[in-house]
């Protein structure tokens, strides 16, 4: 149920630098990826094929804006990433929350690392639990460590996170209430607060939609108080793999998109995430995330 934080500081402009992906012997970058388009991609979707496409979406452009990021920008991304769901296991680095909580009696911890421009990014750890005595409340804490490419200084943000399920999605439409906040451990400042209402609409047992609306406070943003919105679709494309697409933003503020794959081997207690996203700011910033969720 962790949440990803969307950058709330204005990025500093930096010079553009050409980005050259690794070239295969024949000069075709796609050849370095184990995708077989004719035999696999258009006949049968496999996790490795989709992972390859996600990587190409990040590294294919021949030019990439290189700039620095403030703690504000990174915290916005980190705060909004995440949601926790038992059957769908939506926990992890997602911006859009769903309405569901962990199965009562279970705990989980979400780990992920997100990288922006070379040298800047953050790492996240979010343990949460749902008690049998409080079957509709998932609660925990979130810790995030940020680093920057223009300074050796790092920042750590720590705070509580909680989600209350008001209406289970198996009734036809799920409704919840999500909260998180974070304090900068170096400065003592309250960096963020998020209050959102997640709505989940299952289409069938393989596809569902999630919608969010609420209030977002980001101290370092030019617009500290803003309306947060988001929409997401999840589709099970195999017995172990889920594809996710989402768009989100702050108004006034910033808009972004993210897509990714989740692999849950043998429907077990561990999930693996691979995601790529883009913020539609002056640098058109891309970011790349890998994560793992462990439940017990």
pLDDT band at 116 (very low <50, low <70, confident <90, very high): confident
The answer, yes or no, to whether residue 92 has pLDDT greater than 60, is yes
Q: What is the pLDDT of residue 5?
A: 52
Instruction: Yes or no: say if 282 and 61 are a contact pair by the CB < 8 Å rule.
Output: no
Output the six-digit token pair for 160. Answer: 């509580």
Of 12-16, 93-97, 138-142, 195-199, give the lowest mean pLDDT range.
12-16
| Percentage of residues of the chain with pLDDT beyond 90 | 55
Place of tokens 């451990």: 185
Report the alpha-carbon distance of residue 104 to residue 260 in Å, rounded. Answer: 27
Report the alpha-carbon distance of residue 146 to residue 119 in Å, rounded. Answer: 11
Cα separations in angstroms, 26 against 14, 30, 58, 132, 204: 33, 10, 21, 59, 45
Q: What is the DSSP string of 218-286?
A: ETTSSSSEEEEEEEEEEEE-SSSEEEEEEEEEEESS-EEEEEEEEE-GGG-SEEEEEEEEEE-STT--E
Instruction: Report yes or no on whether pTM surpasses 0.95.
Output: no
pLDDT band at 17 (very low <50, low <70, confident <90, very high): very low
Q: What is the pLDDT of residue 40?
A: 41
Domain at 4-14+65-295: CATH code: 2.40.160.40
- What is the residue extent of each domain of the chain? 4-14+65-295, 20-60
Q: What is the pLDDT of residue 295?
A: 95
Output the six-digit token pair for 286. Answer: 């891309």
Output the six-digit token pair for 289. Answer: 């995330």
| Percentage of residues of the chain with pLDDT beyond 70 | 67
pLDDT tens sequence across 163-189: 999 999 999 999 999 999 999 999 999
Beta-carbon contacts of residue 227 (< 8 Å; ≥ 6 apart): 213, 214, 215, 216, 250, 251
Q: What is the pLDDT of residue 178?
A: 97
């Amino acid at each position: 149920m962790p949440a990803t934080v969307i950058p709330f500081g204005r990025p500093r402009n930096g010079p553009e630098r050409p980005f050259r992906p690794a070239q295969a012997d024949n000069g075709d970058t796609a050849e370095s990826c184990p995708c077989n388009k004719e035999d696999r991609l258009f006949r049968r979707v496999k996790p490795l094929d989709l992972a390859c496409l996600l990587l190409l979406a990040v590294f294919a452009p021949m030019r990439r804006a290189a700039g620095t990021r403030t703690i504000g920008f990174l915290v916005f991304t980190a705060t909004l990433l995440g949601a926790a769901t038992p059957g769908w296991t939506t926990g992890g680095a997602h911006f859009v929350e769903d309405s569901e909580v962990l199965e009562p009696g279970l705990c989980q911890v979400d780990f992920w690392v997100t990288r922006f421009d070379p040298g800047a990014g953050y790492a996240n750890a979010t343990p949460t639990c749902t008690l049998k005595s409080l079957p509709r409340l998932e609660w925990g804490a979130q810790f995030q460590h940020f680093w920057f490419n223009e300074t050796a200084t790092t920042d750590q943000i720590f705070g509580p996170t909680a989600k209350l399920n008001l209406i289970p999605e198996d009734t036809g439409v799920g409704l919840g209430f999500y909260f998180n906040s974070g304090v900068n451990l170096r400065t003592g400042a309250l960096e963020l607060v998020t209050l959102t209402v997640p709505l989940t609409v299952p289409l069938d047992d393989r596809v569902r939609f999630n919608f969010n609306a609420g209030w977002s406070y980001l101290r370092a943003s030019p617009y500290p108080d803003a309306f947060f919105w988001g929409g997401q679709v999840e589709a099970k494309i195999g017995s172990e793999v889920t594809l996710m697409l989402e768009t989100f933003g702050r108004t006034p503020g910033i808009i972004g998109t993210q897509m990714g794959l989740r692999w849950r081997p043998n429907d077990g207690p561990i999930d693996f995430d691979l995601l790529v996203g883009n913020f539609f700011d002056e640098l058109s910033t891309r970011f790349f995330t890998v994560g793992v969720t462990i439940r017990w």
